[in-house]
Amino acid sequence: MTPKLPPLTDVLNLLPDAVCLVDVDGRYLFVSESFERIFGYAPGEVIGLRAFDLVHPDDRAATMQQAERVMDGEFQRHFRNRYLHKDGHAVDILWSARWLPEYGVRIGVAREISELRRAERELEHRAAHDLLTGLPNRLLLERRLREHMQRAAQSGGGLAVLYLDLDGFKAANDRCGHGAGDQVLREVAQRLQQSLRHGDLVARIGGDEFVVLLPGCSDAADAGAIADTLRARLQPPYTLPDGPLQLDASVGIACYPGDGRDLDTLLANADRAMYADKRQAARRRA
């Protein structure tokens, strides 16, 4: 028996990815059956519609720019964007696309990567956040600090950094073990977050040390007032299995640009100021 090739549509409908053909105006001419599995729309529902109308609003501008590049002859293999599913949720898509001028159509192959994007976002979050408290870590702090220093340099504004070290925290580990100490650190993180202004950032940079970034605060007195508020928020007792724990904090303040025009200098001066505050507190208690 001589083999006979099936219709191309039957082959395309077997693919797990969605194959789409659109005209020069971006209107659907054909979609394979996987389009419904990925986007929720049956093929008959989208023929004649503009593909851009289904793109997530936040991704439309970039998608239109990419389509123009494809129409100019660039073969696109790895463009990512989000579409809106028929039921309203966003779907992450990886596209391969090519313009076929001899036919007047653009062909695209869509692969859903929503699970991949969720995994990527989780890894990105873990890379930039402290696993114990969920606060930003040093990596994210330094990234945000550089961004705000650049903005302050351009606008002539300022910003302040608070370097905060807990006083009395060691007792939590000594009395009840590291599990209790971890719980105290999580509660400290919550109290700090709840006490900040909109746009401020608090990061845990190790042990019982935290750094607070105060964009737009260039006055040491204003930064000091915020530091006093944070210290007061941390002072109510923490509950341990063997009874309450009282904490305080030593806080060092550094303001951009007076205390440093680069990240390392600004953080180092805040760190030094924190240790000076700790020494003064120790002398007061002596």
Q: What is the CATH number of domain 129-285?
A: 3.30.70.270
CA torsion, ordered 100, 102, 103, 108, to nearest 10 deg = 0
Quickly tell me which residue has 């509950």 as its tokens. Answer: 239
Query: What are the structural domain ranges in the chain?
Result: 11-117, 129-285
Helices (H), 47-103: 60-71
pLDDT in tens, 92-107: 999 999 999 999 999 9
Q: Bigger pLDDT: 197 or 218?
A: 197
pLDDT in tens, 37-89: 999 999 999 999 999 999 999 999 999 999 999 999 988 888 999 999 999 99
pLDDT in tens, 2-11: 788 888 888 8
Q: What is the mean pLDDT of residues 27-43?
A: 96
List, edge to edge, every strand of the sheet that includes 209-215: 201-206, 209-215, 159-167, 248-256
Confidence of residue 285 (pLDDT cuts 50, 70, 90): low
Q: Give me the pLDDT at residue 176, please.
A: 87
Burial class of residue 98, CB neighbours in 10 A (0-12, 13-18, 19+): middle
Question: Residue 219: pLDDT above 90?
Answer: no
Least confident stretch, 47-51, 178-182, 218-222, 280-284: 280-284
* Amino acid at residue number 117: R
Six token digits for residue 241: 């299995």
Q: What is the CATH number of domain 11-117?
A: 3.30.450.20
- Asked if residues 180 and 196 have their Cβ atoms less than 8 Å apart, the reply is no
The span from the CA of 136 to the CA of 241, in Å, is 28
Question: Residue 227: pLDDT above 90?
Answer: yes
Provide the whole-model pTM: 0.81
The span from the CA of 63 to the CA of 74, in Å, is 14
- Asked if residues 215 and 197 have their Cβ atoms less than 8 Å apart, the reply is no
pLDDT in tens, 185-209: 999 999 999 999 899 999 999 999 9
Mean pLDDT computed over every residue of the chain = 93
- Which one of 208, 259, 271, 277 is the catalytic residue? 208
Q: Give me the pLDDT at residue 7, please.
A: 87
Quick check: is 208 catalytic?
A: yes
Confidence of residue 286 (pLDDT cuts 50, 70, 90): low
Question: Residue 1: pLDDT above 80?
Answer: no
Question: Residue 238: pLDDT above 70?
Answer: yes
Q: Give me the pLDDT at residue 234, please.
A: 96
Q: Give me the pLDDT at residue 95, please.
A: 96
pLDDT in tens, 163-191: 999 999 999 988 888 899 999 999 999 99
> Across the strands, what pairs with 90?
84
Burial class of residue 24, CB neighbours in 10 A (0-12, 13-18, 19+): exposed
